[in-house]
Amino acid sequence: MKTISRLFFIAGLASLSACTPSQKNMEAQEAASEGKNQVIETIMSRRSIRKYKQQPVEQEKLRQILECGINAPNGQNKQSWEIRVVNQEYISELDSLNRSLAIAKGADESKIRHTSYGAPVMIFIANDTTYDFSQVDCGLLGANMILTAKSLGLGSCCLGGIARTMKLPEAESLLKRLDLPENYNLLYAISFGYPDESPAAKPRKAEKIKFVE
Ligand SMILES: Cc1cc2nc3c(=O)[nH]c(=O)nc-3n(C[C@H](O)[C@H](O)[C@H](O)COP(=O)(O)O)c2cc1C
């Protein structure tokens, strides 16, 4: 009898341990079907942030953002991007330039906003002009960084306009300081920081999706 009860005990333990992961799986599936999938939640709740708190971004979070960025899928694993994290001094200089250019164009001074919207972190991304999929690589890199930031409680904003400004003759020295290789083109920047606003989602055009039979 003793042997039989021990066998039942072992069998019970085995079935319990076999059951636990599948139960966990089921819970994860249920959570996903209830819209609690963390990745989906992060994607759907992300918005471009244009107002930031005066709170620095922790180095560890910045490191995670960059690490997740370079783990993006990319053509032939060429990693055809260049990434430049600029410091506060650089952002201030860019702000001053942007401001003077806007004033020269007749902009209302009180309406000129900071280039990074006041975010403490600004990352520039450049693409390899000799590789036809490099802009895709750079876009996926940025998406990874933006979504990682969101998952860590940080806001972000893609900044395309600033790449145009940086190519003006007035910005030559700022562009040079990024020290990009010859065949690289400054594509865009992303600002990161703690959000000080919660903008609503902008409508998306679902009709752009078509299933081809
Ligand atoms: C390639 C690209 C360039 C962008 N450039 C700018 C920009 O220069 N300034 C800005 O405020 N937002 C910029 N954005 C942010 C878009 O305006 C924003 O993603 C879009 O309006 C959708 O809003 P959402 O990000 O809140 O969903 C850019 C986004 C992308 C992807």
Domain ranges of the chain: 47-193
Is 160 touching ligand 1 by the criterion CB < 6 Å?
yes
pLDDT, tens digit (0-9, with 9 covering 90-100), for 90-143: 999 999 999 999 999 999 999 999 999 999 999 999 999 999 999 999 999 999
| Per-residue pLDDT, 189 | 98
Would you list the DSSP string of the chain? Answer: -HHHHHHHHHHHHHHHHHHHHHHHHHHHHHHHHTT--HHHHHHHH--B---B-S-PPPHHHHHHHHHHHHTS--GGG---EEEEEE-HHHHHHHHHHHHHHHHHTT--GGGPPPTTTT-SEEEEEEEETTSTTHHHHHHHHHHHHHHHHHHTT-EEEEESHHHHHTTSGGGHHHHHHT---TTEEEEEEEEEE-BS--PPPPP--GGG-----
Is 161 touching ligand 1 by the criterion CB < 6 Å?
yes
| Per-residue pLDDT, 4 | 41
Is 166 touching ligand 1 by the criterion CB < 6 Å?
no
Phi, psi of 56, deg, nearest 5: -65, 155
Nearest CA to ligand 1 atom 20: 48
* 8 Cα–ligand 1 center, Å: 62
Is 48 touching ligand 1 by the criterion CB < 6 Å?
yes
Q: Identify the CA nearest to 187 among candidates 87, 83, 117.
A: 83
Assigned token pair, 127: 């693409």
pLDDT, tens digit (0-9, with 9 covering 90-100), for 19-64: 344 555 566 566 556 658 999 999 999 999 999 999 999 999 999 9
**Which of 24-33, 79-88, 156-165 is predicted least confidently?**
24-33
* 213 Cα–ligand 1 center, Å: 33
| Per-residue pLDDT, 211 | 98
pLDDT tops 60 at residue 3:
no
Is 164 touching ligand 1 by the criterion CB < 6 Å?
no
| Per-residue pLDDT, 14 | 39
| Per-residue pLDDT, 65 | 98
User: Mean pLDDT over residues 70-76, rounded?
Assistant: 98
Is 105 touching ligand 1 by the criterion CB < 6 Å?
no
Asked if residues 156 and 192 have their Cβ atoms less than 8 Å apart, the reply is: yes
Best mutation site among 115, 157, 187 for ligand 1 pocket (most ligand atoms within 8 Å of CB): 157
CATH superfamily of 47-193: NADH Oxidase (3.40.109.10)
Is 99 touching ligand 1 by the criterion CB < 6 Å?
no
Q: pTM for this one? A: 0.86
